[in-house]
Homo-oligomer: A and B are copies of this chain.
């Protein structure tokens, strides 16, 4: 374990001073080319590597963006992280991750902890209460919220109004008049938005909309099976594809034909949605782009500008075999 080579070692070896070495290495403007070459040579020879931590410490805020997600294993967040990471990295920043386990209190602790090491924060699908969010925004670093609208912060979100309209219009176009929504986590803002926009659109389209609570995983969808079956809906919209696939699975296990007896559609269109039986009609959204836009907002803000207007991403309906014409259900159990 060789001793770490420091700036002063290079200076000594090059027969000059630390300032010169620093300048030579950082490409300062006023310095003789020969010295630069010499210093660089010596540095290379000695295997010198600047201590990035010391640099950033000296320079000010850390080039790190702290991110919180409710659950690392949720494919939606994985892709957001992917996009955010790529952009941030391209901008010279690194990602410090925090997982709240869907727990608002934990999320607040995370924010409090991450901010100590971060120059900016991204809250992905924050589960914080309104009050909690206020506290988070009071941090001395810029904060962007993904899928959560809020004042005085960056906002990047899916346009759920458009999303819900696409879904319901598709279903009414197939003749469905009675739709059931299987919801997501109670703390999820986007679940609230989905419900709100669905209700509103349902009213406009004269569709009867019922709602039940759910969650975000396949289990939640599977467990909702009996309730769904006993409802009078001819079509179901699920919080996301995992729930949708779980529900499809229950229907299959219980001999309910999809889509002839029941249509199922969903939000997100994660890759696996194309491979369910039947393939799931879903709303494609650019999740990675959510992360990229979050980073864009951050850079602008870090550059001294005010927060840009919220970025709203309009999803696209991918129609697959899980939705079909409305028909009276053959069997009721």
Chain A interface (Cβ < 8 Å from any Cβ of B): 1-2, 4, 49, 51-54, 56-57, 62, 64, 71-73, 75, 78-79, 81-82, 85-86, 89, 94-99, 113-114, 116-117, 140, 217-218, 222, 242, 245-246, 248-249, 252, 271-272, 274-277, 279
Q: A117-B94, A218-B271, A274-B249 are in contact. Are A99 and B86 (CB under 8 A)?
A: yes
Which residue, of A72, A78, A140, A222, has the highest number of chain B Cβ atoms within 10 A? A72
Cβ–Cβ contact B78 & A117, under 8 A: no
15 inter-chain pairs at a CB distance below 8 angstroms, sorted by A residue, are A49-B116, A51-B116, A57-B57, A64-B117, A71-B82, A72-B78, A85-B98, A89-B98, A94-B114, A94-B117, A218-B271, A218-B272, A218-B275, A245-B275, A249-B279
- How far does the Cβ of A81 sit from chain B's closest Cβ, in whole Å? 5
Interface of A, helix, strand, loop or mixed by DSSP: helix
Bound-state CA distance A284–B51 (Å) is 43
- Which residues of chain B have C-beta atoms less than 8 A from A57's C-beta? 53-54, 57
A218 CB contact (under 8 Å) in B218, B222, B274:
B274
Cβ–Cβ contact A99 & B85, under 8 A: yes
Cβ–Cβ contact B53 & A116, under 8 A: yes
A78 CB contact (under 8 Å) in B1, B78, B116:
B78
- Which residues of chain B have C-beta atoms less than 8 A from A49's C-beta? 116
- Which residues of chain B have C-beta atoms less than 8 A from A276's C-beta? 275-277
Cβ–Cβ contact B62 & A82, under 8 A: no
- Which residues of chain B have C-beta atoms less than 8 A from A2's C-beta? 140
